Structure 1
Amino acid sequence: MERQELETFLTLAEELHFGRTAERLVLSQARVSQTVKKLERKIGAPLFERTSRVVRMSPLGRQLYEDLAPLSREMDAAVARAKSAARGVDGELDVGFLGSGAGTLTAPILRLFRERCPGVEVRMRETQFHDPLGALRGGEVDLLFTCLPVAEPDLTVGPVVINEPRALAVPLGHPLAGRTSVSLEELAGETFFGVVNGAPAYWWDFHVPPRTPSGREIRRGQAVASFQELMTLVGTGQGISPVVASVEKYYARPDVTFVPLRDVEPAEVALIHRTAGVTARTEAFVRAVRDAVAANGGPAPF
């Protein structure tokens, strides 16, 4: 199997979408399709089941993925370690963050890392929730502070840096404004927001539930691409939205108020990195994060 065939097969197995696979590999969709067909001819049987609406792995494709994925990750990690050893720890490290990053732990983490690795320049880069993992997968950042859940086979999660309750952002004058708390069950009939394609469905559904605990639908309104866009729509009365409690601290607006939200799981923020992209710098940063969290007595409340 050629390297490009391996990368194309593994990426399509993870994405199950020819367009997203092409974007990740910087190839045309036609090239992705041709490469998969060529590999299937070599194997002698289909690896994917394709329809006009969906792409699924065949049983043979699933078995091949389970056999090859660990080997590919080990090979990528070995190459990364060799490159890292050749360059040493010094250099640049791009750290992405969604929202307020690691919150109150951000400064202690960076301070500890710079004390240990003074030859590394840390560059912080903001990401948006319409594609919360894209910058990490695309190599724009080396590590990423982002909200959980993240359940992706090519990404390593941890340590957790923030654990906080959630609240409901509502415009001033809304019937729920001024309440001491509100239950998610009360929100059937209200309008939440969708998200522009890019965020995993399970990720958005956790943060902006499509149903109440009893199963009643909560309508999804306009799709948004950034946090500022979401807050602007809330402030102008076009919907309401669950948010993490720290939003009131870091993103207060005069036209939006926040009500504690009951009966939903707390939100967590963790450090994420590519499993196959570990270097001496990323390992050093992970250790600094872990040690800063331990010195704090655990994840920050927000």
Structure 2
Amino acid sequence: METFLTLAEELHFGRTAERLLLSQARVSQTLKKLERRIGAPLFERTSRVVRMSPLGRQLYEDVAPLHAQMEAAVARAKDSARGVEGVLNVGFLGSGAGSLTAPVLATFRERCPGCEVTMRETQFQDPLGALRGGEIDLLFTCLPVEEPDLTVGPVVIREPRLLAMPLGHPLAGRTSVSLEEMAGETFFGVVNSAPAYWWDFHVPPRTPSGRPIRRGQAVASFQELMTLIATGRGISPVIASVERYYSRPDVTFVPLRDVPAAEVALIHRSGTPGPRVGAFIRAVADTVTANGGPAAF
């Protein structure tokens, strides 16, 4: 069954063999044995293409969730058996995992009572540096993250975006604003160490029609951002949870339409995670699943 699931994901016998550390002949033999047991082909194979048959697709959709649950159960049992201990350093940008932070930590501490979790805030000025440098083991941060040395794990929050502005701003009090209306407004600039694509997602350089959006002073932290907004130095798109966790009386928020929702995910260094990191990733994934999916603000 593991061979079938892997081939269904790869649709390539060579890559499947590499993932499973088997020969291509063994993969082919195993699949033929399963097809004889089922009584019908699960894949349509030619010299160039491998596709799942309708029956194969049905079997994959039925079995994949069960297989994932079984692997997760075995991993949790291993965590308990070896008693994951030590210190795990978890970073977060802004509000981090938001409302799921407490349930995630509770789940992890229940499974790994011998492991201490420390939380550390990261800043705009170097959002990924602490993770790359080994100062933290994992990081809750806003997507997108497209770095070959970092792996994006479970998405924990999916929420709309708002426009933060000072009280008295001409757009304050509106029921919503469009990104097109941002032309001529001053947003905040890019910190050199932050990925350019990350800033382009959160603060696009142009409106949908192509009009430029002006970028002003660079910011290094959420507190600095909110202070500059309050003093009338500019406005900024933010994720909805910022209104809850960073609100202040001299800043107001208006829903921003015509932009994709923001996502916060758990990020870790690429490669096989160690016991502590692996256990925390599983705790996050199980908490998200128990919540019915990523938290919606």
Q: Same fold (TM over 0.5)?
A: yes
**Aligned mates of 2:84, 2:272 — CA distance in 1:** 14
Q: Verify: 1:181 aligned to 2:179, yes or no.
A: no
**Aligned mates of 1:129, 1:223 — CA distance in 2:** 9
**Aligned mates of 2:146, 2:192 — CA distance in 1:** 18
Is 1:155–1:275's contact at 8 Å kept on the other side of the alignment? yes
Q: How many aligned positions are there?
A: 217
Q: Verify: 1:191 aligned to 2:175, yes or no.
A: no
Q: Verify: 1:253 aligned to 2:256, yes or no.
A: no
SS across alignment from 1:276: coil
Q: Verify: 1:274 aligned to 2:269, yes or no.
A: yes
**Aligned mates of 2:211, 2:272 — CA distance in 1:** 42
**Aligned mates of 1:107, 1:185 — CA distance in 2:** 38
Query: 1:159 is matched with which residue?
Result: 154
Amino acid at match of 1:137: R
SS across alignment from 1:100: coil
Deviation at 1:88, TM superposition (A): 6.5
SS across alignment from 2:187: strand
SS across alignment from 1:135: helix
**Aligned mates of 1:301, 1:178 — CA distance in 2:** 24
Query: 1:201 is matched with which residue?
Result: 196
SS across alignment from 1:269: strand
Counterparts of residues 18-167 of structure 1 (less than 5 Å): 89-167=84-162
**Aligned mates of 1:196, 1:102 — CA distance in 2:** 23
Of 274, 293, 300, the match for 2:295 = 300
Is 1:93–1:122's contact at 8 Å kept on the other side of the alignment? yes
**Aligned mates of 1:277, 1:254 — CA distance in 2:** 46
Is 1:88–1:280's contact at 8 Å kept on the other side of the alignment? no
Of 164, 169, 173, the match for 2:164 = 169
TM-score normalised by structure 1 residue count: 0.70
Deviation at 1:195, TM superposition (A): 2.6
Deviation at 1:277, TM superposition (A): 6.1
**Aligned mates of 2:141, 2:282 — CA distance in 1:** 17
Computed over aligned residues only, the root mean square deviation of the Cα atoms, in angstroms, reads 1.3
Residues 117, 140 of structure 1: alpha-carbon distance in 2 compared, 3 angstrom cutoff: same
SS across alignment from 2:204: coil
Deviation at 1:276, TM superposition (A): 2.7
Identity of aligned residues (%): 82
Deviation at 1:89, TM superposition (A): 2.3
Moved over 2 A (4+): none
Flag structure 1 segments of 5+ consecutive residues without an equivalent. 1-83
Q: Verify: 1:286 aligned to 2:281, yes or no.
A: yes
**Aligned mates of 2:120, 2:184 — CA distance in 1:** 37
Is 2:162–2:240's contact at 8 Å kept on the other side of the alignment? yes
**Aligned mates of 2:272, 2:200 — CA distance in 1:** 28
Is 1:96–1:127's contact at 8 Å kept on the other side of the alignment? yes
Amino acid at match of 1:91: G
Q: Whose Rg is larger?
A: 2
Query: 2:210 is matched with which residue?
Result: 215
**Aligned mates of 1:244, 1:130 — CA distance in 2:** 18
**Aligned mates of 2:124, 2:157 — CA distance in 1:** 17
SS across alignment from 1:107: helix
